[in-house]
Structure 1
Amino acid sequence: MGDKLDRRKQYTRKMLKESMIEMLKEEPINGITVKALCESADINRSTFYTHYDNPHDLLLKIEDEIIADMKDYLSRYSFDQDEESKQMTKKLLDYIEDTPEMFHVLLNENGDPAFERRVMNVAHQFVMNNTNDLDESVSDYLSTYIISGSIHVIKAWIAAGRPESTEEMATLIHTFVNGGPDR
């Protein structure tokens, strides 16, 4: 009986998350109501409130899951050499490629601006842990510069429909980080 309840809860949360992502394609989080989410997910309001406090809470839980997944994903790798950092970038792009619609919606103008900052903080922590040879204040600024640029390149790539492969994008970002293309 417990498994059936767990599956039902999982299904309800999945439907609410999918509804939230679909609605964020059209309007900002502040325009999304519990009523609209419930109609879209085909559940009643009391079921929604069993799981979440409000639409912002639902969005935060979606973001929390992605951030936890990213941290878990990144913690599996330790990159010290140049080529390995390119491979790490490719692995992150592969991660994004698995759920491009989710990232497109959460990183667009209707998503929560705090999510982009949270993604940048995760990447920043990872870069700082793998940059040992620079002065701390310099590496902090360098990390911020690299991550901000990379996030915006990735957003543009997603918005363009991901025309380049993850390998091509990893190479491109790696080239930008290392001084740009040779002329």
Structure 2
Amino acid sequence: MSSKLDRRIKYTRLALQESFIKLMQEKPLTKITIKEVCELADINRSTFYSHYKDLYDLLNQIEDGIIEDLNQTLSSFNHTKNEEAIQMTETLLEYLVKNHESSQTLFSENGNPEFQQKVMMLAHQHLLNVLNADKQNLPINAEYLSLYIVNGSIHVIQHWLKNGVKESPKEIAELIITLANEGLSPFQQ
């Protein structure tokens, strides 16, 4: 009985989350109503309130799930090896492709800037740990370097998502790691 209930809860939450993301593709959060989300999900308002306090709670739960997934992925790799850095970045990009609709929406202009900041700070902290472990080989302050790499990478990923993920995750991962490790020199000939 409980697994049947769990499936219904998962289905309801998924339907509400997908409907909310679809509406966020069309307009900013401040213009979306609970009524619209419920109508699109074909779920009544009382059911919505049994799962979420409001739209901000719904958004936070979606964002927290993504942050948790990204953190687990980042934590599972050895960032100091170039091959693993490419593989880790490719894995993150594959996750974004698999969750393209929500990822593209959350990283768009209608997305929550606080979520984007959380993603950047998560990546910054992981990269900073790697850079600090290799501090003696760094010509500059690790914190500045990490911020520079993360911000550039996030903007590359936002552009890639916005333009329909035309390149493969592997191609974008290799580009990001090459830019992070070697700057523009490999591209200047």
> Same fold per TM (> 0.5)?
yes
Residue 148 of structure 1 aligns to which amino acid in structure 2? N
Structure 1 residue 82, shift from structure 2 partner: 3.0
1:78-106 CA distance string (max 9 Å, x none): 12133332222222112212111111100
Aligned residue for 1:91, secondary structure, equals helix
User: Given the alignment of the two structures, is residue 179 of structure 1 paired with residue 183 of structure 2, yes or no?
Assistant: yes
What do you get for the CA RMSD once the two structures are aligned? Answer: 1.6
> Deviation per CA, 1:106-155, whole angstroms, max 9, x where unpaired?
01011111111111111112111212122798111111110000000011
Looking at structure 2, the residues matched to 79 and 89 of structure 1 have their Cα atoms a distance apart, in angstroms, of 10
Of residues 170, 173, 176, the one that matches 1:170 is 173
After the TM superposition, which residues 1-183 of structure 1 pair with which residues of structure 2 at under 5 Å, given as runs? 1-131=1-131, 132-134=133-135, 138-177=141-180, 178-180=182-184, 181-183=187-189
1:69 Cα offset (Å): 0.7
Structure 1 residue ranges, 4+ long, deviating more than 4 angstroms after superposition: none
Amino acid at match of 1:158: L
- Determine the C-alpha separation between the residues in 1 that align with 2:83 and 2:7: 43
What is the aligned length?
183
Instruction: For structure 1, list consecutive stretches of 5 or more residues without a partner in the other structure.
Output: none
Aligned partners of 1:83 and 1:15: how far apart in 2? Answer: 38
Secondary structure at 1:162 match in 2: coil
Q: Which stretch of the first structure deviates more once superposed, 144-153 or 173-182?
A: 173-182
What TM-score comes out, normalization by structure 2 length? 0.91
SS state at 2:86 partner:
helix
Asked if the contact 2:77–2:84 (Cα under 8 Å) also holds between the matched residues in 1, the reply is no
TM-score by length of 1: 0.94
Identical columns (%)? 46
